[in-house]
Amino acid sequence: MFYRLSGVRHSSYVSDRRMFQVPADRNAVIILLMIGLAAPFLIPSLYLNSYVLPWLIWTAAVLGLNLVTGWAGQLHLGYAAVMAVGAYSAVHAARFGIPWEFALLIGGLSSSVIGSLFAFTALRVKGLYLALTTLAMQFVMDWVLTHSPTITGGSHASLQSPPFALLGQEITSDAGLYYVALGWCILVTIFMLNLKRTGLGRAWVAVREKDFAAAILGVNSFYYKLVAFAASSFIAGVTGAILVATFYFLAAPEQFAVNVSIQVLAMVIIGGLGSIIGSYMGAALILLMPGVVNQVFSAFAGLIGLELSIETLAHIPNAAYGALIVIFLMVEPLGLGKLYANIRDYLMIWPFDQLKK
């Protein structure tokens, strides 16, 4: 009824390989895209720049981590470190006078190199051991950043990024910065959407499911793992650079510390491993929920005239937010993306689902 078809049935390979199997999905994406493009005219600047913009950038980051963790199945706990490499190299490049287009590319490539360098050592081990190795990478990076003033900009450790510019055009307006973030997020999303239709994406899925089974099928799992790390690190690097250039305006080590790595991983897990729409939802939940819950609670406390101390007011939302994560994962362990998929699958054939059973 909502989707005007009763299930997805293919009669040709072309239809099987289509990006959008259901026309309604494609239409939804188009509508969302239009809303995204019109957002600067629809959404007040406060929400645009302190909620939507960071959300889009973090979504791009989550998609990058989802690539290596969700698609290729390699647990990665040092993602923020890779973002830091990209951010710092891009900002240094831009400060050196290199145009931002190339600075972003330099950021991405240097991240890619360092990310895969660590992957080389990390890929000899699997699972939890890999998680710990990548975590070690995070700590190495933290240490490097706090001990090298030349990278981080002196003992006060904040390196200002030059004004962002693309194609010789300086971008400083709220809307301009928003479009940069939106553009990058769309680019990464398109890449990820196409991934599952390519041999590369299928090879990663094979490696994720069982790497030696993949090897028997002729998939060189070491090579594909390495490519996964390199590709995800590239996305991380550019995202880190864009985060600094359009949102923080300066780079500081705390912005890429270990807790950020954990946060991004939490976004991936809550969103759903290997789910694109889940990445959007996970980033929104982890990033925006604390602030929203905080406001809801303050408003609620004000409404019923509850006299709470500022500390209590700060802690209750944290507890509520934690509970929310637990509830979501209890309802659907595969994440928000799966939750959405369940609803969609149910509505797909509703109200004729009895016929199928």
Partner 1 sequence: MKLTTYSRNLAAAAVVGITSLTPAFAAEGTIKFGLCYDLSKAYTFITPQVAQAAQDLATLVNSKGGIGGHDIEVIVRDHGNEPQRGIECYEQLKREGVVVFDMLSTPVSIAVLPRVMKDKNILIQSLVGRGDAVDGSVFTQIFPVGPTYLGQAANDIAYIKEQFGGDMAGKKIGFAYLDYAFGQEPIHLLETLAEKEGFELALYPVPLPGSDQASVWTKIRRDKPDYVMAWLLAGGHVVAAKEMKRNGFPIDKYLSVNWLNEVDIANIGAEAAIGIKRGTNVAGGQDLPIIQKIIAEVYGNGKGAGPEEKIYDVYYNTGVGIYSAAFEAARLAVEQSGYPVTPESMKAGYESISGFDANGLFAPLTVTAADHGGGGKTRVEMWDGKTWVPQQEWTAAYSDLIWELVRESSSKFATE
Residues that bind partner 1 (CB under 8 A): 46, 49-51, 54, 95, 146-147, 153-158, 160-163, 247-250, 252-255, 287, 290-291, 294, 309-311, 313-315, 317-318
Q: What is the rounded distance in angstroms from the CA atom of residue 310 to the CA atom of residue 14? A: 60
For the record, the structure tokens of 58 come out as 């973090």
Q: Which is nearer to partner 1, 276 or 293 (CB)?
A: 293
Minimum gap (Å) between residue 92 Cβ and partner 1: 12
Q: What is the rounded distance in angstroms from the CA atom of residue 1 to the CA atom of residue 102? A: 49
In this structure, what is the dihedral angle of CA atoms 228, 190, 64, 179, given to the nearest 10 degrees? 150
φ/ψ bin of 75: left (φ > 0), alpha (ψ from -120 to 50), beta (otherwise): beta
> C-alpha angle with apex 73: 60 to 240, nearest 5 degrees?
25
Q: Which is nearer to partner 1, 29 or 289 (CB)?
A: 289
> Could you give phi then psi for residue 250, rounded to 5 degrees?
-150, 155
Q: Which is nearer to partner 1, 198 or 318 (CB)?
A: 318
Q: What is the rounded distance in angstroms from the CA atom of residue 223 to the CA atom of residue 232? A: 14
Q: Which is nearer to partner 1, 222 or 249 (CB)?
A: 249
* 229 to 26, 259, 281: CA distances (angstroms): 30, 20, 23
Minimum gap (Å) between residue 318 Cβ and partner 1: 5
Q: Which is nearer to partner 1, 193 or 313 (CB)?
A: 313
Q: What is the rounded distance in angstroms from the CA atom of residue 146 to the CA atom of residue 252? A: 10
Q: List, in order, residues 6 or more apart from 298 with CB less than 8 Å away.
A: 313
Q: Which is nearer to partner 1, 29 or 288 (CB)?
A: 288
Minimum gap (Å) between residue 255 Cβ and partner 1: 6
Minimum gap (Å) between residue 292 Cβ and partner 1: 10
Minimum gap (Å) between residue 160 Cβ and partner 1: 5
Minimum gap (Å) between residue 53 Cβ and partner 1: 10
* 147 to 110, 156, 157: CA distances (angstroms): 20, 11, 10
Q: Which is nearer to partner 1, 95 or 344 (CB)?
A: 95
| 96: exposed, middle or buried (Cβ count in 10 Å: 0-12, 13-18, 19+) | exposed
Residue entry with tokens 């190795």? 133
Minimum gap (Å) between residue 153 Cβ and partner 1: 7
CA-only gyration radius of the chain, Å: 22
User: Is-cis flag, bond preceding 351, omega within 30?
Assistant: yes
Minimum gap (Å) between residue 78 Cβ and partner 1: 17
Minimum gap (Å) between residue 119 Cβ and partner 1: 26
Q: Which is nearer to partner 1, 74 or 246 (CB)?
A: 246
Q: Which is nearer to partner 1, 81 or 205 (CB)?
A: 81
